[in-house]
Amino acid sequence: MVNPPPHASVASRAWAHVEAWTRDHLGVACTMVGGLWAVLCALPLLARVYAHACSVDLAIYAQAVLRMGHGEINPFVPVRNVTIFADHVDPIILLLAPFTRLVDARYVVVLAELGFVALAPLAVWAAHKRGLLPWDWTLWAVAFLFFCPATIHALTMPVHPATWSMFPMVLLGLAVFHNRTGPIVAALVFLFLFREEYPLGGLALGGYWLLFGPRRRGALVLAVSAVATAMVLWLRPLLVPDVVDYGGTILVRVLHPGRILDTYLSDSHHAFLVARFVGPFVPWLVVLLLQKQTPRWALLALLGPGMLIRLIRPAMDSHYMPVMAAGVLMALLPLGREMVLPRWMPAVTLALMMPLSGHYLQKNLTALRGEYAQTPATPSRLAALDRGFALLMQHTDVPVLTQHHLVDGLLEHPLVNHLGGPQPPNTTTFHCVMVEKAPYGDPWPLGRARLAELEAQWRADPATVVLQDDAHVFVAQGVFREDR
């Protein structure tokens, strides 16, 4: 960067020195961004796992991977009441199974999530080292991937391969950037391992190239995506029983668009979710309008089916959006070959990101101190939970019921179910229950009042045998129902 003129302001001179140092020490600057992410996002997530303060998705994938580690290819997951590949197609989780013999399955899946998220910015850095990206766009892309509101929010609701797919999406974007067909197809197939909807994006991507060129690449991508789509939509139902019909749910909403509109109008939260995703891209789009060159529309075509599904359901929260953010980012990065990153763009994007992410970063810092909401990592609470888990593991031959955030402490129980969640067919009664007492624990999806009502009814039943009843936990044996 050229030194500022002598009449430049003190702020301009200081900023010029910062830019010069960053350009000359880009590796250090990117490492500092990654370190800040580790403190603000990665460590709080591990603290949340330790405190049993995560959603049921963590338990679903941890239990699936744990059973895979014991030789089951498509294990039944009691807490979801379905075999894992009848729910979603994410065979990437098979790679994690061997590690469950060495590490707690909860940490295996969480470390996988953190690893895949961290690999996405690392891939951008590698592209810079190969001369694909200038230093300023590289640093901003790394910072964006780490701290985009979609990424931050996803890491507060672990775990899911949809979040992990940030990494293959970045690889695909770099392959498109490099304009090499072999790596494009390889990255696309890799992406297909993370979720069943991505082959639909592959069809759109192949169709785009078939129309606008290069046509050979389009035909190859279209053929590979068509095979993957057939495996998901046709072969899977033949091999896997009771496949969850997500497509039917979406089709019903498409045929009745008024339902979609009613959802958005009746729940202002969805408008906030749209803002969370769109807001940080506003500066990029302003710059885009000022340029002659367009972004890589092929990548935006790839994202089209997934974004449409998100808007129809609607499902723009938690783990669904990081891959979309990564894809849009990679579509816009070719602008780095044409122009220096405008100084105002990082500032404006940061100003948009912080209001959308600040609440979650604050929760992360609270979790890091062991004070996360109703699930503090205090020795008395954790000891009470451990006693309750041990008691339920003495009854592995009967269905047991607990709150969703406690299922991860009972991964080896073959018949564990969560309050308010999907239950096994013909199972209306449970023989053991474990709940945290107010104000502790997460009552979702029942709510605090309903949970207290159920606990009182269970406690009043003469057949109930109380196994643990301390300041934190209620554990009992008997005959229990959710609907009374």
Residue 374 forms part of a structural domain: no
195 within 8 A of 172, measured Cβ to Cβ: no
In a domain, 349, yes or no: yes
3-state secondary structure of 296: coil
User: What string of DSSP letters covers 219-283?
Assistant: HHHHHHHHHHHHIIIIIHHHHSSS---HHHHHHHHHH-HHHHHHHHHH-HHHHHHHHHHHGGGHH
Asked if residue 11 belongs to a domain, the reply is no
- Report the range of poorest mean pLDDT among 180-184, 396-400, 420-424: 420-424
Q: Categorize the per-residue pLDDT at 247 as very low, low, confident or very high, splitting at 50, 70 and 90.
A: confident
Q: Is 3 inside a domain boundary? A: no
Instruction: Lowest mean pLDDT of 101-110, 274-283, 385-394, name the range.
Output: 274-283
pLDDT at 184: 97
Residues 155 and 269 reside in one and the same domain: yes
Residues 325 and 397 in one domain: no
Asked, for residue 73, whether it belongs to a domain, the answer is yes
Does residue 147 carry a pLDDT above 50?
yes
Evaluate if residue 2 carries a pLDDT over 60.
Answer: no
**E-assigned strand segments in 79-175:** 82-83
Q: Among candidates 100, 98, 60, which has minimal Cα distance to 76?
A: 60
Asked if residue 327 and residue 471 are part of one domain, the reply reads: no
Separation between Cα atoms, residue 218 and residue 206, nearest integer Å: 4
Total residues found in the chain within this entry: 484
Do 77 and 220 belong together in one domain? yes
Split at pLDDT 50, 70, 90, the class of 12 is confident
Greater pLDDT, 144 or 7 = 144
Name the band, by pLDDT with cuts 50, 70 and 90, for residue 422: confident
Question: Does the residue 253 lie in any domain?
Answer: yes
pLDDT value of residue 372:
74
pLDDT exceeds cutoff 80 at 460: yes
Nearest to 126 by CA among 184, 186, 178, 188: 178
What is the residue range of 106's domain? 16-368
Please, is 5 exposed, middle or buried when counting C-beta atoms within 10 Å of its C-beta (0-12, 13-18, 19+)?
exposed
Q: Helix 297-312 vs helix 246-255: angle between axes, to the nearest 10 degrees?
A: 80
pLDDT exceeds cutoff 80 at 290: no
Same domain, yes or no, for 341 and 363? yes
Same domain for 45 and 77?
yes
* Whole-angstrom distance, CA of residue 59 vs CA of residue 408: 5
Mean pLDDT of the region 463-469: 95
Q: How many CA atoms lie within 13 A of 147 on its CB side?
A: 27
What does pLDDT average to over the chain? 89
Q: Which of 304, 335, 368 is the last residue of a domain?
A: 368
pLDDT at 1 over 50: no
Q: Which of 117-131, 165-179, 362-376 has the lowest mean pLDDT?
A: 362-376
Residue 75 has pLDDT above 70, yes or no: yes
Choose the final residue of a domain: 368, 399, 428: 368
- pLDDT above 70: percentage of residues in the chain: 94
pLDDT band at 280, cuts 50/70/90? confident
Residue of 222 and 271 predicted with greater confidence: 222
Count the domains in the chain: 2
190 and 92 in contact (C-beta within 8 Å)? no
In the predicted model, what is the mean pLDDT of residues 384-393?
98
The answer to whether the predicted template modeling score (pTM) of the entire model surpasses 0.75 is yes
Beta bridge partners of 480: 430
Contact predicate 149/277, CB 8 Å: yes
Cα separations in angstroms, 341 against 27, 93, 288: 18, 38, 12
- Residue after which a domain boundary falls, among 309, 338, 368: 368
Percent of the chain with pLDDT over 90: 63
- Average pLDDT rounded to a whole number, residues 454-459: 92
Query: Alpha-carbon distance 269 to 20, whole Å?
Result: 42
Q: What is the pLDDT of residues 313-347, one digit of tens each?
A: 777 767 888 999 999 999 888 888 888 888 888 88
**Does one domain contain both 427 and 283?**
no
pLDDT in tens, 350-379: 888 888 888 889 989 988 888 777 899 999
> What pLDDT, on a 0 to 100 scale, did the predictor assign at position 73?
95
Residue of 151, 99, 94 lying closest to 120 (CA atoms): 151
Q: Could you tell me if 328 and 422 lie in one domain?
A: no
Average pLDDT of the residues in 65-87: 93
Higher pLDDT, 252 or 164: 164
Q: Do 145 and 29 belong together in one domain? A: yes
Q: Are residues 354 and 386 in the same domain?
A: no
Range 191-207 average pLDDT: 96
pLDDT tens digits for range 31-53? 999 999 999 999 999 999 999 99
pLDDT of residue 257: 79
Q: What is the pLDDT of residue 52?
A: 96
- pLDDT given at position 172: 97
pLDDT recorded at residue 291: 67
Q: Which residue has the tokens 């402490």?
A: 409
Residue 114 lies in a domain: yes
Please name which of 357, 363, 358, 359 lies closest in space to residue 149, comparing C-alpha atoms.
357
Give 255's Cβ-side CA count (13 Å radius). 6
Strands (E), 114-202: none
Looking at the structure, tell me whether residues 349 and 420 fall in a common domain.
no
Do 36 and 144 lie in one domain? The reply is yes
Q: Is residue 116 part of a domain?
A: yes
282 has a pLDDT exceeding 70: yes
